[in-house]
Amino acid sequence: MKTTAYVFLLVLLGTATLVAQSNFHNTHHLDPYNPEYVKGEVLIKFKDEATVNINTMRGFAKTGIVSVDQLLEAYQTESIGKVFKETREQRQRKTVKTIRDFKGKEIEVPALYNIYKLTFDTIWDAKQIIEELQKDENVDFAEPNYFAYTTELLKKLRILEDPLQTNPLFNFDNSNSTPDDPLYNQQLGIITTQIDQVWDTVTGDTTQIIAILDTGVDWLHPDLSANTWNNTDEIAGNGIDDDNNGKTDDIRGWDFINNDNNPMDDNSHGTHVAGIAAARGDNGIGIAGVNWFVKILPIKVFKSDGIGDVATISQGINYAAENGATVLNMSFGGYARSLTMETALINAYLTADLVASAGNNGESIYSIDPDNPTTHYPAGLSYVLGVEAMAAFSNYDPDGPILSTFPENFNYELTAPGSGVISTAPNGTYVSMSGTSMSAPLVSGAISLYRTQFPAASREKLWGDFIHTSSGCIKVYDAFYPDSVFPNFDMTDYAIEDTLAANDQDGQADAGELIQIYTTIRNTWGYADSVYALLAHSVYGDTNDLDFVHDSVFFGSLSTYGTLTNLADPFLIRIDSNCFNHRNVTLNLTMRNAGDTVSYVQEIDFIIYNGEELSGILTADTTLTPDKFWLINNSLRVDTGVTLTILPGTHLEINTIIDNRGTINASGTSDSIIAIKGSFNGNGTFKYIDFDLNEQELSVDSSELNHCNIINGRTVHAKKISFCTLENFHLTGAIFGDTDSIISTNIHNSYLDGAGTNAFIQCLFDNIIGGYAGIKSSKYCVFNNFQNILVYLYPNWPDMWTKMYLIQSDLNQHQKNSFLETDTLFYFVKTYGQSNYQNFPNHYWGTNNVDKIKQKYYDFWLDATIPKLVIDPVLAAPSDSCPGHVWKVLVNGKDAQDEIVDPVGVGLQKFEVFFNRAMDTTVIPLLSFGVRSPFIQNIVDNAASWSLDKKIWTAYYNVDLYTGDGTHTIRVAEAKDSTGQQIPNEDSRFAFIIQAAGVQSVNFMATAGIGKVELEWNSTGLIDFLGFNMYRYMNITDTTFSNPIVINTSLITDTVYNDFSIIPDTTYHYYYKIVDTDLQESDSSNIVTATPFNAANGDANGDLAVNVLDITTIVSYMLNEYPSPFLFDAADVNYDDEINVLDIIALVQLINGKKSLSILPLPEFNKEMAYYLMIDNKMQLESMGNVAALQFKIKDKRGKIKELEELKIFSLAHGFEFAYAVVDDHIIGILFSLSGKEIPTGNTDLFRFEGIDIDAIEFSG
């Protein structure tokens, strides 16, 4: 058993040998938005009633379903096979089985027998095949055969050299629950999760079986072999499938990768996972698993590289369930949701608890892209316990284990340790790994212990006990034996209805209506006998416009994970008829069990509409006028031959689908814009419209868009787009669909991909996330600030980055464009084909520097298999037919991009901004510069003017000491060209250097002295300043420095300063900052350096002489008078690291010549005793030897400091110097002789006291 007597032994065991096995472990970076799958394979589930009859015709596989076979004819299916073994029970199932997830949702358990895997030549696109299959009425679903991955992060591997070495303190008679396993003291997760406390009552038994779905398990490992599952229905080695499960001689599990009965681990991941959950405990070797005696069912469904596919994994899940597994541990996952795997899991859930790891990408279960949530499967599924790790690498669920905003109720529920977890590894070894893969088996083991201890507990109680007792991670003892079990409520759903007779019953909350609110309440823990809820305004909500007609509802009783809905008793709210349109309402629902003190509050959100509603089928011409706000909340069709006219100035909000079979004419004017929120399709006239597409497409295929501002969209389909602005287009799909030409249109802050055959003329692209854009034709366009989509999505995963290109074909279709700025791995042009050269002349590249231009295109010099790009002749300046943009900035006549601008000092500086075309001179450009983004710290606007041709903006800036030294980037914004188009912001190409404070301080000097550094500078030319702050720092090593500190205690007003607080022979670095009248500091001056000298022993004041002035300096220091300068080392004459009266004695001896300088301590003294005696108001000294000097303290016993201040002390010792001072709550006194005189042996009067009661004071030496 474990005691402190062998801690040293365990440390040696735990740190035996380091090995490198990273090549065996999965370090695959997962792309949440583009999950990978097996090429040439499709998984399909046919409807239960469909009859599949697999056969072969002309060498290709057929399903026997005519419509499906006709569809697959073109793809020449190579094989069709069942994913799951068909059972008679499944075929003959008459009743529908269901499970209930933990949000109360009932889920039908699907049959497995009609799921197949189809294989094709990999030349075919599996997703295209799937899209066609899903349209067939015989198909339930079709999907790719997605990959899944083990979820460990390899940190450090440790191998036990002698894993069979038994702990020498092993004691068979010891009943203590602490195991004797030698590496147990390194299993910190056991203690963190309270598992060790549970072992006092239960350590496990063989009734539980944990299926390890993984890379296999080393079932011969001495810490696992005794716990490995044995199939008692199978006779080993007889070559017969005795239990008729389709697996011959599967006595210890199955290898689905190699299709044999030896699920041996060839990676180490599965063995490590198995050990965490189920290594045999208290056996004197290795580690202790969570459950010491549980059975391990090894199921190998991952290859040696840690990668598996969902078809294989799903077969393993089904095998585990059919062979009695009570817990399925799934330390794997991916971001692809597989219905095949879910089908297997739902069936397994009937008999087993499901546990899965949440993944290691640091991703939220939610995502910035609602169409591509970063949910990790299967951990996120509502009937699987998803396990996070207590580490930054772990995926996480930001709203916790109970709430979920997903319709499918995805959640991660539990957290467990997952960093540096030691466990078993192949060949009898032990390793340390990190990842949520290590967290999941700890939970699996704990659940198996729970099932052993509480075999009759419901699954709902298990979930409630583990979730509600967690605190940072699972607390297993608290889950087993909670102090109290109380109800815990949440609202899983709510609905807003307007079905009462007086309402318009359009499913929306409208002004003037009496609405009903239905809520579904769930209880996730203790039994609740009387549940009620109260509806009210949120704490900071607007209390106007709403009248709570019925705000309290009684629900009744609720058991663990039970749900109730107030269908018979809805909340009722009346909305004021004058409520403004599109008002967002937030209400609080408070839930409580009668008699309990704890309440649970959740929010209910909805929108109130107030406008003229339009819906149904328009069979006659209709006009929308600007005197009303128009709402379309329910389906609307403009019928064939019907015209819907929208007049200038009209506002329209579309919250549903418009089916335009007729014509929509929406023609605003420049001073009366039409505003439309939402989208529609079809033909019509569309100009001067502000569109907010609300993440939708705009499809007006055969019509034109003219002078429209379009935001928040996905794709625009139009015949022609002219003089428009498109902004904030979504990260999925191309901006432009089948559009012939896009003219004089600006595209900002959007994703551009697949521009196709569109022709762009005089267009501006600015701040673009670029995919495989592939622009075919462009003329007089400006391209600025392009970023690679993969760099944007995965900034920390450079191995996922690939190059992207704007133009990579038809180079002759591009004329006189301006290519300004691009980012990492995005190139404006890529050559193609087999020729040696491709011409791309007459473009402006944002610079005239050849090296900078080369960074913007991709050709032969980066890939020898493609042509070299010939860009000559290049345009030295951009075409004035392009949209307006900045092409050059001069600072004091020098090009701030392509020339070296001399560093700028204090004074007036000239800035000239050059535009490619005439500008709107009524609009003032915002010209600024700064040392950091957004570069608007300094506005350049002195004496500003336009040139006669309206192409050059000139302005001045007066640089001073506080402008800031360093490299400044120039920013130009808010200018408009003569057509009214705003220029792209320029904030990256142009820069210059300011050295104002540095130039000012060229005469700054530091002079080293004895025990000091003399600093001197000048203030010539400085105005409006208060003084200076002096900073000092020193070397820690040759390459590291201390933090700078201000050494002056008050503002320096002179231009000289002496630093006395130094250590001699130490190098110091100094700089100063100027403080202006606003108490603002300038940048740093130049840095000067000095190393002060050491002073002679006794030269306390550093004046290069040892004399009586040094004695007075020491006395002043001892009396806390802070003399300056004061050299501590020199004043410590006797080298005892203290300044006291002994140093005065020694210094007197040095001055009088009685002692010479020595490395030995001074002075010499004996150990005879001396005493103070008080006689009346006098103090005598009774000494057994001569006394050279005295140092004493006097305190008032009553703590009256004022009394001490009034005390007067007179020296009675002739020939001695005497000084004293009140310091804090006491008096310090010093008596010494400058001539070396001593107080003789015997009694001597020393002092006389006046002004205090002698009995009230006490002395100390």
Active centre residues (catalytic) = 214, 269, 437
Give the 3-state secondary structure percentages of the chain, helix then strand then coil, rounded to 5. 15, 35, 50
Closest Cα to residue 250, out of 332, 315, 305, 346? 315
Pairing label, strands 746-752, 764-770: parallel
End-to-end CA distance of the chain: 59
Torsion of CA 937, 938, 944, 947, to 10 degrees: -70
Contact 382, 460 (CB under 8 A): no
Torsion of CA 66, 67, 69, 73, to 10 degrees: 130
Bridge partners for 364 per DSSP: 396
Closest Cα to residue 764, out of 749, 741, 751, 745? 745
Query: How many Å apart are CA 948 and CA 424, to the nearest integer?
Result: 81
Torsion of CA 187, 190, 191, 193, to 10 degrees: 140
Closest Cα to residue 485, out of 507, 455, 463, 502? 463
Look up residue 147 and give its two tokens.
């990959």
Q: In what order do the strands lie in the sheet with 658-660?
A: 616-618, 636-638, 658-660
Q: Concatenated DSSP letters for 758-827?
A: -EEES-EEEEEEESS----EEES-EEEEEEEHHHHH-TT-GGG---EEEE-S-GGGEES-EE--B-TTEE
Is 615 buried (19+), middle (13-18) or exposed (0-12) by CB count in 10 A? middle
Look up residue 88 and give its two tokens.
């008679």
* 1114 three-class SS: helix
Look up residue 600 and give its two tokens.
């649970």
Contact 182, 286 (CB under 8 A): yes
> Other CB atoms closer than 10 Å to residue 823's CB: what's the count?
15
- DSSP letter for 884, please: P
Contact 522, 562 (CB under 8 A): yes
Contact 450, 469 (CB under 8 A): no
Closest Cα to residue 860, out of 840, 842, 837, 843? 837
Bridge partners for 648 per DSSP: none
Query: How many Å apart are CA 773 and CA 755, to the nearest integer?
Result: 6
Look up residue 777 and give its two tokens.
């034709």
Strands (E), 440-582: 489-497, 509-510, 514-523, 528-537, 546-550, 552-558, 562-565, 571-575
Instruction: Convert 597-633 into a string of H (helix), E (strand) and C (coil).
Output: CCCEEEEEEEEEECCEECCEEECCCEEECCCCEEEEC
Look up residue 45 and give its two tokens.
């589930």
* 1256 three-class SS: helix
In angstroms, how far is CA 398 from the centroid of its own chain?
12
What stretches of 244-333 show up as alpha helix (H) in DSSP?
269-278, 310-322
Look up residue 454 and give its two tokens.
């509480």
Bridge partners for 330 per DSSP: 356
